Amino acid sequence: MSSIDTIIRTAPAESCTPELAQGPWTFDLGTPGYGPGASMGDVIPTGSPRQGQLPGEYQRASNDELHERIRAAKATLGERVVVLGHFYQRDEVVQHADFLGDSFQLANAAQTVPNAEAIVFCGVHFMAETADILARDDQAVILPNLAAGCSMADMADIDSVEECWEQLTALYGTEPDAQGRVPVIPVTYMNSSAALKGFCGRNGGIVCTSSNAATVLEWAFERGQRVLFFPDQHLGRNTAKAMGVPLERMPMWNPNKPLGGSTPDDLADARVILWHGFCSVHKRFSVDQIARARAEFPGVRVIVHPECPMPVVDAADEAGSTDYIRKAVAAATEPTTFAIGTEVNMVNRLAAEFPQHTIFCLDPVVCPCSTMYRIHPGYLAWVLERLVAGEVINRITVSPEVAADARIALERMLAARPTV
User: Min. distance of Cβ 223 from ligand SF4 in angstroms?
Assistant: 27
The answer to whether the Cα torsion of 325, 369, 240, 238 is positive or negative is negative
| Binding of residue 191 to ligand SF4 (CB under 6 A) | yes
Residues near ligand 13P (CB under 6 A), total: 9
Task: Identify residues 179-198 at the interface with ligand 13P (CB under 6 A).
Answer: 191
User: Min. distance of Cβ 43 from ligand 13P in angstroms?
Assistant: 18
| Binding of residue 39 to ligand SF4 (CB under 6 A) | yes
Whole-number Å distance between alpha carbons of 198 and 398: 10
| Binding of residue 232 to ligand 13P (CB under 6 A) | no
Cβ–Cβ < 8 Å for 343, 368 = yes
Beta pairing, strands 206-208 & 182-189: parallel
In a 10 Å sphere around its CB, with 0-12 CB exposed, 13-18 middle and 19+ buried, how is residue 417 labelled? Answer: exposed
Whole-number Å distance between alpha carbons of 206 and 197: 7
Question: Whose Cβ is closer to ligand SF4: residue 150's or residue 410's?
Answer: 150
User: Min. distance of Cβ 168 from ligand SF4 in angstroms?
Assistant: 25
| Binding of residue 322 to ligand 13P (CB under 6 A) | yes
User: Min. distance of Cβ 138 from ligand SF4 in angstroms?
Assistant: 28
Question: Whose Cβ is closer to ligand SF4: residue 196's or residue 369's?
Answer: 369
Binding to ligand SF4 by CB under 6 A, coded x per residue (else -) over 55-94, reads ----------------------------------------
- Give helix then strand counts, H and E, for the chain: 18, 13
**Residue 154's beta-bridge partner residues?**
none
User: Min. distance of Cβ 307 from ligand 13P in angstroms?
Assistant: 5
Contact residue for ligand 13P among 321, 345, 348, 358 (CB under 6 A) = 321
Whole-number Å distance between alpha carbons of 383 and 376: 11
Cβ–Cβ < 8 Å for 95, 115 = no
Binding to ligand SF4 by CB under 6 A, coded x per residue (else -) over 323-362, reads --------------------x-------------------
Residues near ligand SF4 (CB under 6 A), total: 13
Alpha helices, DSSP H, located in 224-307:
233-242, 264-268, 287-296
User: Min. distance of Cβ 117 from ligand 13P in angstroms?
Assistant: 26
Residue 39 one-letter amino acid: S
Contact residue for ligand SF4 among 82, 131, 147, 150 (CB under 6 A) = 150
Closest CA to 362 of 417, 403, 301, 419: 301
Task: Identify residues 285-304 at the interface with ligand 13P (CB under 6 A).
Answer: none
* End-to-end alpha carbon distance in the chain: 36
| Binding of residue 307 to ligand 13P (CB under 6 A) | yes
Closest CA to 323 of 120, 15, 88, 110: 88
| Binding of residue 42 to ligand 13P (CB under 6 A) | no
Peptide bond preceding 231: is omega within 30 degrees of 0, i.e. cis?
yes
In the complex, the residues that contact ligand SF4 under the rule CB under 6 A are 39, 124, 150-152, 191, 279, 281, 307, 343, 369, 371-372
In the complex, the residues that contact ligand 13P under the rule CB under 6 A are 102-103, 191, 209-210, 279, 307, 321-322
